[in-house]
């Protein structure tokens, strides 16, 4: 502060010395007590007393309101009735509690003494206590002999370090090892693409340009670990003009006549990429807004995902239904260390 009227540096001593400033105002002590209305006027005092009692009475009314809501509003499977009961239970409780609470605080603020009192702080650790404690600790250490017998001390240390390890190891059976579980899905050559959740198969002819299907593999609804399989196998099916697709070499036959299938599990942290923008052919994940471009093999064009959605190679079987030509060629969903 260059402007000296805003304080001249050097008027305070550096911190860490005595802590008292050399040139400071004396503490004027507590300001004089200001009497409240109820302290001076007996009528105000009486009024405050009645207000407190009224607040307590409001609490009683609140409790009664709760019982009315609980016993006299039978639930009849309609949301309206449930709302009404919830409102009465809630307001009843609110009045019951606020009546008591506001009443007590009002009582304290208007009728109980409001003189501020000063109390001294004490040393958290008086020096005499410290000396006594030090002596006690030394005596304990001496009597235990832990310093004189390093053999005992060291073996105990070793044992105490090892002893907790079983407590960690015993949690091993919390779950199986990952194995190949994250790299395989229910899809395989010839598995039909079916609608989610009904499980009805999809004909290539049903998929018109611009439409999108939420797809599960055939047989998923009967699978033993349905949710776990579904969490990996859900697929989005879209049909574009074949000229709009730009497959990379070797993937030309992964689509069928403009119909492409991509994993619905976001490569970011695994939310379902559920929003399809029909005009731009973008897929958007509603959780963290990763955006994938279906025209360019679902590559990331915005957001936190770093990898394209894996593509499911598809073809058509003899009856005209869409089937997978194989499983996904790479693990679906969020990245993990072993993904490689």
Partner 1 sequence: MSSSTATQTYVPKTRVGKVTDYVDSRVGGSAIVKEFGRKIFPDHWTFMFGEVALYTFVILLLSGTFLTFFYDPSMAETTYEGSYLPLRGVEMSVAYASSLDISFDIRGGLFMRQVHHWSALLFVAAVAVHMLRVFFTGAFRKPREFNWIIGCTLLILSLAAGFTGYSLPDDLLSGNGLRIIDGVMKSIPVVGTYLSFFLFGGEFPGTAIIGRLYVLHILLVPAVILLMIGLHLFLVVLHKHSQFPGPGRTNTNVVGYPVGPVYAAKAGGFFFIVFGILAAIAAAFTINPIWNYGPYDPSPVSAGTQPDWYIGWVDGALRLMPGTIGNFDFEFMIPFPWGTNALPLNVLIPALVPAIILFTLMFAWPWIEAWVTKDTREHHLLDRPRNAPTRTAIGVAGVTFYCIMWAAASSDLIATHFMVSLNDVTYWLRVLVILGPILAFMVSRRISLALQRKDREIALHGRETGRIVRLPHGEFIEVHEPVDDYKLYTLTSFESPQAELPTPDKDGKVSRLDKVHGRVSRFFFEDRVAPVTPRELAASHGDHHEEVAGAKDREAISSR
Q: Residues 49 to 78: which contact partner 1 by CB under 8 A?
A: 70, 75, 77
Stretch 130-169: interaction string toward partner 1, x if CB under 8 A: ----------------------------------------
Among 33, 46, 50, 109, binds partner 1 (CB under 8 A): 109
Q: How far is the CB of 18 from partner 1 (least distance, A)?
A: 9
Bridge partners of residue 321, in order along the sequence: 203
Q: Does residue number 289 form part of the binding site for partner 1 (CB under 8 A)?
A: yes
Q: How many CB atoms lie within 10 A of CB 170?
A: 9
Tell me the residue ranges of DSSP E strands in 159-269: 193-195, 212-217, 235-239, 259-263
The Cα–Cα gap between 261 and 255 comes to: 7
Q: Does residue number 87 form part of the binding site for partner 1 (CB under 8 A)?
A: yes
Stretch 193-222: interaction string toward partner 1, x if CB under 8 A: ---xx----------------x-x------
Helix, coil or strand: residue 320: coil
Given its phi and psi angles, is residue 239 left (phi above 0), alpha (psi -120 to 50 degrees) or beta? beta
Among 44, 182, 209, 316, binds partner 1 (CB under 8 A): 182
Among 136, 141, 181, 189, binds partner 1 (CB under 8 A): 181
Where does this chain touch partner 1 (CB under 8 A) — which range of 7-15, 38-46, 126-134, 237-245?
7-15
**C-alpha pair distances (Å), 64 with each of 47, 54, 71, 287:** 26, 15, 11, 46
Among 199, 201, 242, 272, binds partner 1 (CB under 8 A): 272
Q: How many CB atoms lie within 10 A of CB 169?
A: 9
Where does this chain touch partner 1 (CB under 8 A) — which range of 16-24, 142-150, 241-249, 317-325?
16-24
Q: Does residue number 278 form part of the binding site for partner 1 (CB under 8 A)?
A: no
Where does this chain touch partner 1 (CB under 8 A) — which range of 137-145, 200-208, 258-266, 318-326?
258-266
SS (H, E, C) 241-298: CHHHCCCCCCCHHHCECCEEEEECECCCCCCECCEEECCCCEEECCCCCCEEEHHHCC
Among 54, 60, 108, 136, binds partner 1 (CB under 8 A): 108
Angle (deg, nearest 10), helices 79-110 and 42-72: 160
The Cα–Cα gap between 106 and 54 comes to: 11
State which residue, 87 or 140, has the beta carbon closest to partner 1. Answer: 87
Among 231, 247, 293, 296, binds partner 1 (CB under 8 A): 231
State which residue, 94 or 146, has the beta carbon closest to partner 1. Answer: 94
Among 38, 264, 294, 312, binds partner 1 (CB under 8 A): 264
The number of residues that bind partner 1 (CB under 8 A) is 108
Q: How far is the CB of 133 from partner 1 (least distance, A)?
A: 15
Among 126, 150, 178, 190, binds partner 1 (CB under 8 A): 178
The Cα–Cα gap between 255 and 237 comes to: 10
Among 102, 209, 223, 316, binds partner 1 (CB under 8 A): 102
**C-alpha pair distances (Å), 247 with each of 45, 253, 257, 297, 331:** 87, 9, 12, 6, 19
């Amino acid at each position: 502060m260059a402007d000296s009227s805003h304080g001249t540096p050097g008027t305070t001593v550096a911190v860490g010395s005595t802590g008292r400033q050399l040139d400071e105002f004396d503490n004027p002590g507590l300001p004089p007590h200001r009497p409240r209305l109820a302290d001076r006027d007996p009528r105000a005092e009486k009024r405050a007393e009645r207000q407190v009692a009224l607040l307590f009475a409001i609490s009683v009314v609140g409790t009664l309101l709760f019982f009315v809501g609980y016993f006299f509003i039978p639930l009849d499977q309609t949301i309206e009735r449930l709302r009404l009961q919830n409102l009465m239970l809630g307001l009843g409780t609110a009045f019951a509690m606020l009546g008591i609470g506001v009443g007590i605080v009002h009582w304290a603020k208007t009728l109980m003494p409001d003189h501020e009192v000063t109390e001294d702080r004490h040393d958290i650790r008086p020096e005499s206590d410290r000396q006594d404690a030090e002596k006690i600790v030394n005596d304990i250490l001496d009597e235990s002999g832990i310093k004189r017998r390093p053999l005992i001390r060291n073996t105990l240390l070793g044992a105490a370090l090892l002893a907790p390890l079983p407590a960690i190891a015993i949690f091993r059976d919390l779950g199986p090892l990952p194995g190949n579980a994250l790299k395989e899905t229910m899809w395989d050559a010839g598995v039909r693409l079916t609608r989610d959740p009904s499980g009805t198969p999809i004909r290539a002819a049903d998929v018109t340009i611009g439409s999108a299907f939420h797809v599960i593999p055939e047989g998923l609804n009967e699978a033993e670990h349905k949710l776990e399989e579904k969490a990996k196998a859900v697929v989005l099916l879209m049909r574009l003009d074949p000229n709009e697709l730009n497959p990379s070499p070797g993937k030309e036959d992964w689509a069928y006549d403009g119909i492409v299938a991509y994993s619905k599990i976001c490569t970011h942290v695994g939310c379902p990429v559920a929003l399809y923008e029909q005009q731009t052919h973008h897929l958007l994940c509603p959780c963290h807004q990763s955006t994938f471009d279906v025209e360019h093999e679902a590559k990331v064009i915005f957001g936190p995902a770093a990898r394209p959605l894996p593509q499911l190679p598809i073809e058509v079987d003899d009856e005209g239904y869409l089937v997978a030509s194989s499983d996904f060629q790479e693990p679906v969903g969020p990245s993990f260390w072993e993904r490689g």
